[in-house]
Structure formats: C-alpha cells, structure tokens
C-alpha cells in the first residue's frame, strides 16, 4: 500500500508539473504600456524587443543606489535614482531628492508571505495596512521626484492554496495603487532570480508592471537565468540591490562568524560585479548599488559605503569612475589585510580572557602621514534571533596614527571582532576587521 501510494503521489506531481509547464509556455508576458503618445508621468513602453522607461516624456535609465542619505554626493558622481524600503520621513527624502535631481523608488512595506497566521489571516491588520498605504500613495503620488512604487521587499511568492490570503492582500494593494496613481509603475522584489516565484507572480499576481531583483554574489548568473527562463518572464526588470558578497556567501570561522573582506577588496568586488550587470539585455531598466549609507547588517561595515559622519569608502570612488567615466582626484586609503597575533581571520583565532592581544593593519602603496587609525573591539550577536543584529561597543577604543593596536581581550567568553577604520581627513575611509573567540 505504501509503495502504491508513493507511486500515485509521484504521478500526481508529474501531472501538476506538466500542467505548470504547459500553462507557462502559453502565458503572454505583460507589455506595460499602451502607445507612444502615453501622457503618464512615468511609464514603461515596449519598442520592438526593447523595453524603455519614460519619465516626463524622456527615456530614463535607472542608475543609482539603494539608500536615502548622502544624496548630494550621489548626484555629483553621476547617480540619478535612490530607493527606500519604507515611508519613514518620506516627504523630506523626496524633497531632498528633488533638490539633487534624483528620482525615488518608494518602498511600501508589507510583511512577507510567511506571516500568514500572524498577519494575513487577520482582516483588521490587513485593512489597516491597506488604509495606511492608500494614504501614503494619495499623499505623494504627485511629487515630482517619485519614479515608481515598490510594494514589499523579498516577500516570498510561495505556492500552495494556503497562501491565498497573502495574494489577496497583495493584489488588493496593487490594484489600489494603480487606481489611485496611474502615473507611476509598481514593482516588487525577490532575492536573486527564482523560477517558481516568477511563475507564481505570473499566475497569482495582477498586473505587476515589472519585477526587481536583489542579488549579490549570484549577480554573475542573473543574465543567464533570465535568458534561460525567458518563457517564464519576458517582461522588464530592475536590479534593486547589488554589491559586494553578502555574509551568507563567504567563508566562516569555526564558530560560524562570516569573514568580511577589507573595504579595498570589496571595492574590487563592486567593480567586477558592475561588469556582470545585464546592461545589454533589452528588458533591463537599470540598477541600484547597495548600500548607499551606513547600516548594521552582520557588522556595521559589511555593506556600508559611508560611515556615520558621511565619509565615503573606496566603493564610492569606484562608482564615481564607473558612472562618471573620470578618475577620482583623491583616492581613499587602501588596506592590504589585517592581522591579529600575526594570524588572519581564516586561522580561527581563539584567545584567553583578559590577555594581551596585538593587532596590525597593513596598508597598500605609499602611506600618507596624516592617516588616523580608529580601533574598536565589539561583541558580536549575529548568532541571535534574526533582526537583532546589533553590536555592543566595549571599552577598548583606541584612536591614533599607529597601524598597530595592543589591547586586552574581554573577560566574557564569546565571539568578538576587532575593527580598524582608517581616515584620511579628506572625506574618505577604509575598514578591516578580524573575528576572534574568547575561551574561558
């Protein structure tokens, strides 16, 4: 009986998959515009095989950054667009973007599809979200800096009848945005290119104008994926996050700490990854580098292209060259690598509590005398519940003109990192860090 049941389930699975394949070969991908004389403020038009994004009657290629700070700098080096993930201080962000000739992709936040029981099966919560986002769309639909709306971020378009409440809420919001603001397209993002999620967007989502991808190390295969699965999605798309390798894509220490590259190495990643963008794909509407600002994600420096005071890393200088086509006059400090007790991060450095440690940062090229080195030891908590990736700064803080730092390890057992930030006093910085573990 068990073998027979397994056989029947297998046959049923084949039938379902065959049905999906047959259906998608006959689905017509959306063409998101009507005529060359479209009078909307922003729209996407298919011209032959080419998709073109029009803004105020002129073709517009998205070239910018995900983030909402340092907007003047973005404009100065050739960027034209920013992206937000929520609506906090949205009015001020839109106004500042307008002052700096930047367009804005406004993120409209909503819970992911995994929150079925907690959120999407609660009609009161769903209605409250609908009214809140409706108010936002009505309030800002006429702002001249607005480029498009991004409904949710990496929501997870999953299969199964049980996800119907999520799709119902998403489609109601999508219809509302199109009704309230027909002048601007609506997109949503997914992590990398996911075939099943793309198929489900075709099947269960109503009239999404374009798809957006957040992709880092897998950017190198995005172009091939989009070409192989053209039958699944043949419409326009954006790359809304790209940059250096993420913490989930690198080697770890023996205790699970992701090993972070120096800012100099990450700048090389940005340059290389830029060359992997699908720039020649006629469906590609542009890309946004990540992260234009300072943020805590695994570490305070992993994705941060700026520090808290607005100084820029070498990645900013790389983008200036790539966008502006001219070299940077003053180059940021360059770090070769960092050592702790003459060991690198991959050596799984373990130390005793309250014992003397010696760290050193080795610089590249001729090192100016005016560089300032800021050393810090921080306790890590990347291993705690997702979303609580904050770090507590310890008392070990040393600032000076020395490439070496001697400090005592913390008393408490656990994972830590020692960080160095190198500042040149001209608006540039470089960073490196090394994880270590205190063993009682």
Rounded CA-CA distance 245/303 in Å is 9
Residue 18 has pLDDT above 70, yes or no: no
Cβ-contact 136, 88 below 8 angstroms? no
Percent of the chain with pLDDT over 70: 88
Query: How many residues in total does the chain contain?
Result: 440
The whole-model pTM stands at 0.89
Flag whether pLDDT at 16 surpasses 70.
no
CA torsion angle 269 271 277 280 (round to 10): -160
Task: Report helix, strand or coil for 113.
Answer: coil
Residue 414 pairs in a beta bridge with 438
E strand or H helix at 224: helix 219-228
Q: What are the sequence ranges of the domains in the chain? A: 32-324, 335-438
DSSP type of residue 67: B
Is the pLDDT higher at 337 or at 32? 337
Distances (CA, A) of 60 to 25, 292, 381, 414: 31, 21, 42, 50
Comparison of pLDDT for 300 and 11, the residue scoring more: 300
Q: Rounded to whole angstroms, how far apart are CA atoms 274 and 387?
A: 29
CA dihedral 107, 297, 214, 84 (to 10 degrees): 20
pLDDT at position 394 is: 57
Tell me what the mean pLDDT of segment 389-399 comes to. Answer: 59
* pLDDT for position 365: 84
Percent of the chain with pLDDT over 90: 82
Between 42 and 384, where is the model more confident?
42
Mean pLDDT of 100-124: 97
Query: CA 245, CA 315: separation in Å to the nearest integer?
Result: 13
pLDDT digits (tens, 9 = 90+) for 192-233: 999 999 999 999 999 999 999 999 999 999 999 999 999 989
Predicted local confidence at residue 4, as pLDDT: 47
Same topology, domains 32-324 and 335-438? Answer is no
Cβ burial of 422 (10 Å; 0-12, 13-18, 19+) is: buried
**CATH 2.60.40.10 is held by the domain 335-438:** yes
Q: Is the confidence at residue 149, as pLDDT, over 50? A: yes
The first and second tokens of residue 278, run together, are 């699908």
Any alpha helices (H) in 77-194, and if so which ranges? Answer: 90-99, 123-140, 164-180
Q: What is the pLDDT of residue 24?
A: 44
pLDDT band of 386, cuts 50, 70, 90: very low
CATH class of 32-324: alpha beta
Which helix (H) or strand (E) segment is 316 a member of? helix 314-324
DSSP category for residue 346: G
């Amino acid at each position: 009986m068990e073998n027979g049941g397994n056989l029947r389930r297998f046959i049923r699975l084949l039938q379902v998959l065959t049905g999906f394949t047959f259906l998608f070969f006959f689905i017509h991908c959306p063409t998101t515009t009507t005529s060359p004389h479209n009078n909307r403020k922003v729209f996407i038009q298919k011209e032959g095989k080419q998709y073109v994004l029009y803004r105020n009657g002129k073709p517009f290629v998205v070239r910018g950054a995900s983030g909402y700070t340092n907007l003047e700098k973005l404009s100065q080096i050739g960027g034209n667009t920013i992206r937000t993930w929520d609506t906090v201080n949205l009015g001020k962000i839109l106004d500042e973007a307008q002052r700096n000739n930047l367009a804005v992709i406004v993120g409209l936040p909503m819970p992911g599809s995994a929150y079925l029981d907690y959120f999407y099966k609660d009609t009161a919560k769903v209605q409250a979200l609908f009214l809140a986002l409706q108010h936002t769309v009505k309030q800002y639909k006429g702002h001249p800096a607005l480029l498009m709306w991004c409904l949710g971020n990496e929501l997870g378009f999953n299969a199964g009848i049980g996800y119907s409440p999520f799709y119902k809420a998403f489609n109601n919001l999508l219809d509302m945005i199109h009704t309230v603001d027909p002048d601007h397209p609506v997109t949503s993002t997914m992590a990398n290119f996911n075939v099943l999620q793309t198929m489900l967007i075709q099947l269960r989502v109503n009239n999404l104008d374009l798809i957006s991808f957040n992709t880092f190390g897998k950017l190198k295969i995005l172009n091939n994926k989009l070409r192989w699965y053209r039958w699944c999605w043949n419409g326009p798309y954006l790359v809304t996050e790209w940059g250096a390798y993420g913490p989930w894509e690198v080697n770890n220490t023996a205790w699970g700490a992701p090993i972070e590259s120096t800012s100099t190495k990450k700048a090389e990643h940005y340059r290389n990854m830029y060359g992997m963008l699908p720039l020649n794909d006629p469906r590609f509407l542009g890309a946004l580098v990540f992260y234009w600002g300072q943020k805590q994600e695994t570490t305070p420096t992993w994705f941060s292209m700026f520090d808290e005071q607005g100084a820029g890393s070498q990645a900013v200088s790389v983008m200036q060259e790539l966008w502006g086509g001219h070299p940077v006059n003053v180059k940021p400090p360059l770090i070769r690598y960092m050592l702790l007790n003459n060991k690198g991060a991959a050596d799984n450095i373990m130390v005793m509590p309250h014992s003397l440690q010696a760290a050193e940062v080795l610089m590249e090229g001729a090192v100016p005398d005016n560089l300032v080195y800021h050393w810090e030891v921080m306790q890590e908590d990347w291993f705690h519940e997702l979303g609580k990736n904050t770090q507590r700064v310890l008392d070990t803080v040393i600032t000076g003109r020395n490439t070496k730092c001697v400090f005592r390890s913390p008393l408490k057992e656990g994972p830590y990192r020692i960080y160095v930030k190198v500042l040149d006093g001209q608006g540039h910085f470089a960073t490196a860090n090394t994880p270590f573990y205190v063993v009682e």
